[in-house]
Amino acid sequence: MNRRLPGKDARLVFVAFVATLFAMTGSALAEQRPGRWWAEQLFNRLDANGDGKLTKDEVGGQNAQRFGWWDANGDGSVDVAELRASLLRRVAGGGDHVRPRPGVEPPAGASSRTEAGRQTVLPFEGDDWAVAPSALDAHVLARLKEKGVEPANPCSDQVFLRRAHLDLIGTLPTPEEWLAFVHEDKAPDKRAKLVDALMQRDEFAGYWALKWGDVLRVKAEFPINLWPNAVQAYHRWIRDSVKENKPYDEFARELLTSSGSNFRVPPANFYRAIQGREPPAIAAAVALTFMGTRVDRWPAERRRGFEAFFSCVVYKGTAEWKEEIVQLDPAPTEPLDAVFPDGTKVRIESGIDPRQVFADWLLAPGNPWFAKSLVNRVWSWVFGRGIIHEPDDIRPDNPPTNPELLEYLEKEFVKSNYDLRQLFRLILNSRTYQQSSVPRSDSPEAESLFAHYPVRRLDAEVLIDALCWLCADGESYSSQIPEPFTWVPEDQRTMELADGSITSQFLEMFGRPARDTGLESERNNESSDAQRLYLLNSSDLQRRAERSQRLRGCVLWAKGDSRKLIDALYVNILSREPTQAESEAALSYFQKGGVNQTQGWSDLAWALINSKEFLYRH
């Protein structure tokens, strides 16, 4: 990206600024340890008169709020050498698991607002838990204790606000929402209220229709070939089901047993969105979707017995272009012998829909696959990995990392009458979910045992929507379909795209799934060199950021006050206030010669957008 810096010295200034911001912004998410330089520079700035003591006036800003923690003896001053030594012990090595900390931490034992022996990582962690421990947490903690793994600290309100928005509605919080939640709402149950409020929003239906669209293979073109009319009907039915909180057993039954036109009976598209129309292909899709298992690992005889449930499904064309009827074979049949996945044999009399017989077995309380596979899939969506991993590879030789936790969630889900929103409440209102993303253990099992919130890159659709919300203009899409319903309005959110065939260069680069198989592994959220190069060098992204009404609104709101402008950019982009060190680094860059106001704020915005903290859930 051409930053238009006048001369070598200005370029060096910009490089130094970006390096400083990258080291500070989201540094608790980084892998490398920081050097001593940052800590030394911080204290040199704070100790303005060089007397070796810090007063509340000297630290100023956000650090003034922490002064009471540092001033352990209450005499109104803090010894710089003692505080510096405490911080340097934390950041300079020592063989512990501590990672870079953005902002100054209180020395051990100095804060009465923290639990004994616990150090708060600002601004990513809070001092106290916002929720009481739950039965879910008890199962997680019991497993962690058994393995000798230390759980993470609680996350801060700022982190929870951003995390809940991204996990529930795939959308960043607005500055108004940030202000109301972080600074104005003092209710002790405000996090639970936020979870409930987000699940009532229209974006909740859109985001989870996207997730279900991946699983159910909602795609017009090859190799699924639903065609656009059917895609629109199918997607609308999925979205409406999420919006009205349809019980999951009803949702599954409609998909498994529907017959009729793919245009007029949307769930009948389940049987069309499969690569193959023979019983083996249908049985494999049913097992993957509703049981989280792969039939190619089953014994041949058991697999053939299972396939018999779908041997009567046939497809019939109509006079309407691309319309197709999914139905049972109307020809007279003999009684059908089939085998349930648990090995139980059943004879199905003529005239009875075998799919209904299978659905009755699958949806019965106590079924060993149905509820288990769903709660494991939802857990994977929230935490980035299932209790059984992968979430669609449940088998005896792939055991859960926490069997008691999985059994508890399964029972609670059935008890709630398969209420998906109640399952989200159960998970998001737990301490396990509200942990910091900064681990307190070096154990390689920490992530699989859910000892901290896992850091992972935003979904491609969520990321491009966030960039479009921050910057000017929408995304441009392309499609190979020469049929109706392929034109996409400029203000269309990517998250609301119904058709997996409609795509863009950005979506393909950032790992959007092809929707060919229904496997969770189709989505690739790993970072790549191509992604980083695009974000760092895209002239289109630079122009959109510079034209952004939202970012320019920050400049107008600040009215020439650089500190207010820095605060506004951080809140809009990272959904949090900057630390004192971050604010000072940005202010120093703004004041450098050769950097005008427009270049200053656009460079800061560009650096924040390229930070791991923006690009990742944490």
For 434-492, what is the HEC assignment?
CECCCCCCCCCCCCCCCCCCCCEECCHHHHHHHHHHHCCCCCCCECCCCCCCCCCCCCC
Q: Please say if the pLDDT value at position 269 is more than 50.
A: yes
**Structural domain of 298:** 216-362
Position 584 scores a pLDDT of: 94
**CA 199 centroid distance within chain:** 15
300, part of any domain: yes
Per-residue pLDDT at 596: 87
Residue 484 has pLDDT above 80, yes or no: no
Which of 345, 362, 379 terminates a domain? The answer is: 362
- Per residue in 9-51, pLDDT (tens digit) is 555 566 666 666 666 665 556 432 333 333 444 445 455 566 7
Residue 329 shares a structural domain with residue 224: yes
Q: Read off the pTM.
A: 0.84
What is the reported pLDDT for 80? 63
Closest C-alpha among 74, 66, 77 to residue 107: 66
User: Is 223 among the domain residues?
Assistant: yes
Domain count along the chain: 2
pLDDT at residue 79 is higher than 90: no
Section 264-275 average pLDDT: 97
Tokens of 294: 């792969």
- In this prediction, residue 57 carries a pLDDT of 65
In this structure, the answer to whether residues 222 and 329 fall within a common structural domain is: yes
In a domain, 87, yes or no: yes
Domain end point (choices 318, 336, 362): 362
Q: How confident is the model at residue 595 (pLDDT cuts 50, 70, 90)?
A: confident
Residues 110 and 248 in one domain: no
Buried-state track 294-315, b at ≥16 Cβ within 10 A, e below 16: bbeebeeeebbbbbbbbbbbee
- Measuring CA to CA, how many Å separate 223 from each of 220, 486, 500, 517, 524? 9, 18, 11, 9, 19
pLDDT at res. 38:
35
337 band by pLDDT with thresholds 50, 70 and 90: very high
Q: What's the pLDDT tens digit per position in 517-537? A: 999 999 999 999 999 999 988
In a domain, 28, yes or no: no
Give a yes or no: residue 584 inside a domain: no
Q: What whole-number percentage of the chain has pLDDT above 70?
A: 81
Query: Radius of gyration over alpha carbons of the chain, in Å?
Result: 27
In this predicted structure, the answer to whether residue 329 has a pLDDT above a threshold of 50 is yes
CA distance 411 to 374: 12
pLDDT at 482 over 90: no
Instruction: With a cut of 50, say whether residue 109 has pLDDT above it.
Output: no
Least Cα distance to 367 among 420, 403, 418 occurs for: 418
| Band of residue 85 on the pLDDT scale cut at 50, 70, 90 | low
Confidence of residue 539 (pLDDT cuts 50, 70, 90): confident
Round the average pLDDT of the chain to a whole number and report it.
86
* Averaged pLDDT, 141-165: 98
Domain membership of residue 423 (yes or no) is no
140 pLDDT more than 60: yes
Same domain (yes/no): 232, 356: yes
User: What digits encode the pLDDT tens for the residues 440-462?
Assistant: 999 999 999 999 999 999 999 99
pLDDT digits (tens, 9 = 90+) for 177-205: 999 999 999 999 999 999 999 999 999 99
What does the alpha-carbon distance between residue 422 and residue 435 come to, in Å, rounded to a whole number? 20
206 vs 198: CA distance, rounded Å: 12
Q: Which of 329, 362, 395 is the last residue of a domain?
A: 362
Residue 60 has pLDDT above 90, yes or no: no
Residue 289 is assigned to a structural domain of this protein: yes
Band of residue 104 on the pLDDT scale cut at 50, 70, 90: very low
Neighbours of 549 (CB within 10 A): 9
258-266 average pLDDT score? 97
Which tokens sit at 199? 């699940």
State the DSSP string of 213-265.
HHHTT--SSTTT---HHHHHHHHHHHHHHHHTT--HHHHHHHHHH--EETTTS
Helical (H) or strand (E) element with 317: strand 313-317
**190-199 helix and 157-169 helix, angle to the nearest 10 degrees:** 20
Domain holding 80: CATH number? 1.10.238
Tell whether 252 and 115 lie within a shared domain.
no
The answer to whether residue 69 scores a pLDDT higher than 70 is no
Same domain, 113 and 220: no
Residue 471 lies in a domain: no
